[in-house]
Amino acid sequence: MSSQLPMLLFLVPFFAGVSMPILAARRPSICQPLTIGAVAVMVVLAIVNLRVVLNGGPIEYAIGGWAAPLGIAWLDDTIAATVVLTISAVALLSLIFGRVVVPARLERSISYHTLILLLIGGLVGLIFAADLFNVFVFLEVAALTGYALVGAQGGKASVFAFRYLLLGSFGATLYLLGVAHLYAATGTLNMADLATRLPQIVTSTAVAGGLIYIFLGLSIKMALVPLHSWLPDAYENAPEAVAPLLASTVTKVALVAWVRIEYSLIVPGLEVGHVPVLVLLEELGVIAALIGGALALIQTDLKRMFAYGGVSHIGLILIGVSLGNPTGFVGGMFYLINDAVMQAALFMIAGALVHYHGARSLDDLRDLGPRSPWLTGALIVVAVGMVGLPPTGGFFGKWNIILGALEAGHLVAAFTVVASTLLTLGYFVRIFACWFNRSAGAEAQPQPVAGSLRVSLGAISVSMIALGLMSDSIVRFLLESLAGGGV
């Protein structure tokens, strides 16, 4: 039974999504409870899955009983199990938050909830997939539902959803081309099988070209600078109810897909045409972290600021996983988990501000009346996490990335982590300067916020601190999984 857990984790949201039109046809009011229920079941399964994987080692799932490399393989190892748990927990909190801000038209819309569940299912498949083509299929499932969700409100959002679609589909096509190159060169699509066949021919033009195509395709999906231009527009205009879910999961899971490919195919010290590949990736991460942070600093719109903050963190994670040593790698993966949680919290706060106060920009914040202490509290916790101060998880992620950078002797990378911390501090100082501006109506009672909002903001703030407190054990079991040759 427990060996079926990865498939169950995928099937729960997928089945709930596909059967939604039948179940909810006559009673559209059950859409929302059904969606939240399905994701809650996923969270439970993900916890069980993580325990099983930690105690019993990675589960290799052969779909339909066809063993790899002939069949399609899924690999449920420590990293996949941890990321799936993160994704489902963040999705659950985002959906609870979504109950507050969702417009009435979408609240009872069957297709909207089906899209959310299919998106989550696609992300789960993408995390587990250990087969290059399977990654492509789930990448597209997640991306297509993502485009539709961004444009769900119509009007202005559909223009930006369309742009997102053009870029995203182009990225997917590049990825497919890369897969075709690697298949033509090696005759296999299974990642473990590729890892044994590639080292002999890794310097051939076809393999190098294929890897470059794959990286370009995925870096559009993960919004790596300079291919990030779709992200701020898309997430600024996405419905408030799904923006936390989209912002926290889609780019990170694309990055997880790349990490798997990178970890199994690119050995440390590999050079193609005198270019050390991992160092090149690390430098791309450096550029993304610095430019993303600088762009966030000059934004005046809150959502855009947070979106650019996410772009810069993608760079940080890429630095961590490309350092070529376990410390940096684990730091990067741990930071990825934290970043998913923090992005969700940021977009929840921004969405709640739009919903309750109609505030979108820093100037709006300055003239804002009294606001709920829940919002202030969550904003303070998430700011501490984003800047990276203990006891939040953000600190321990950055700390391990810096340790890894020093271990590898890459001072530029270590410097970048510190610099991006300062940039993050810069834009949070700007936000707080407006937030605590006490000129307007400070004496009045704050408007009470809905219970769901309190639950989601409270839970997500607690989980940010909990991740920091548990960072020691999380980092340890991630390190152990690396020692066992996992990923």
Interacting residue ranges for another protein, rule: CB under 8 A? 133, 136-137, 140, 144, 147-148, 151, 154-156, 158-159, 161-162, 165-166, 169-170, 172-173, 176-177, 179-180, 183-184, 189
Torsion angles phi and psi, residue 391, rounded to 5: -95, 20
Q: How far is the CB of 140 from another protein (least distance, A)?
A: 5
Torsion angles phi and psi, residue 60, rounded to 5: -100, 115
Could you tell me the CA-to-CA distances from 374 to 387, 428, 449 in Å, in that order?
20, 18, 8
Q: How far is the CB of 120 from another protein (least distance, A)?
A: 18
Q: How far is the CB of 119 from another protein (least distance, A)?
A: 13
Nearest partner of 459 among 96, 80, 216, judged by Cα: 96
Residue type, 110: I
ω into residue 28 within 30 of 0, thus cis? no
- Rounded Cα–Cα distance for residues 374 and 458 (Å): 7
Residue (166 or 440) nearer to another protein, CB: 166
**Which residues are within 8 A (CB) of 393 and not within 5 positions of it... i.e. 6 or more apart?**
334, 335, 337, 338, 341, 385, 464, 465, 467, 468, 471
Nearest partner of 457 among 94, 99, 86, 84, judged by Cα: 94
Instruction: End-to-end CA distance of the chain: give it in Å, rounded.
Output: 23
User: What are the E-state strand segments in 363-457?
Assistant: none
Nearest partner of 455 among 336, 383, 310, 348, judged by Cα: 348
Q: How far is the CB of 357 from another protein (least distance, A)?
A: 24
Phi-psi sector, 71: left (phi>0), alpha (psi -120 to 50), beta:
beta
- Rounded Cα–Cα distance for residues 191 and 5 (Å): 21
Residue (27 or 156) nearer to another protein, CB: 156
Q: How far is the CB of 243 from another protein (least distance, A)?
A: 18
* Cβ proximity of 117 and 42 under 8 Å: no
Q: How far is the CB of 355 from another protein (least distance, A)?
A: 23
Q: How far is the CB of 314 from another protein (least distance, A)?
A: 24
- Rounded Cα–Cα distance for residues 416 and 420 (Å): 6
Q: How far is the CB of 172 from another protein (least distance, A)?
A: 7
Residue (171 or 315) nearer to another protein, CB: 171
Residue (176 or 266) nearer to another protein, CB: 176
Q: How far is the CB of 440 from another protein (least distance, A)?
A: 29
Residue (159 or 469) nearer to another protein, CB: 159
Look up tokens 């099983």; give the residue: 52
Count of helix runs (H) and strand runs (E) in the chain = 20, 4
Nearest partner of 207 among 174, 183, 171, 175, judged by Cα: 183
Q: If you ran DSSP here, which 8-state letter would residue 221 be given?
A: H
Q: How far is the CB of 138 from another protein (least distance, A)?
A: 11
Residue (98 or 122) nearer to another protein, CB: 122
* Cβ proximity of 285 and 248 under 8 Å: no
Residue (207 or 449) nearer to another protein, CB: 207
Q: How many CA atoms lie within 13 A of 262 on its CB side?
A: 27
Residue (226 or 441) nearer to another protein, CB: 226
Q: How far is the CB of 231 from another protein (least distance, A)?
A: 17
Residue (40 or 177) nearer to another protein, CB: 177
Q: How far is the CB of 144 from another protein (least distance, A)?
A: 5
Residue (190 or 264) nearer to another protein, CB: 190
Residue (52 or 110) nearer to another protein, CB: 110
Instruction: Sort strands 73-76 and 271-272 into parallel, antiparallel or unpaired.
Output: unpaired
Residue type, 197: R
Residue (207 or 413) nearer to another protein, CB: 207
Torsion angles phi and psi, residue 65, rounded to 5: 80, 5
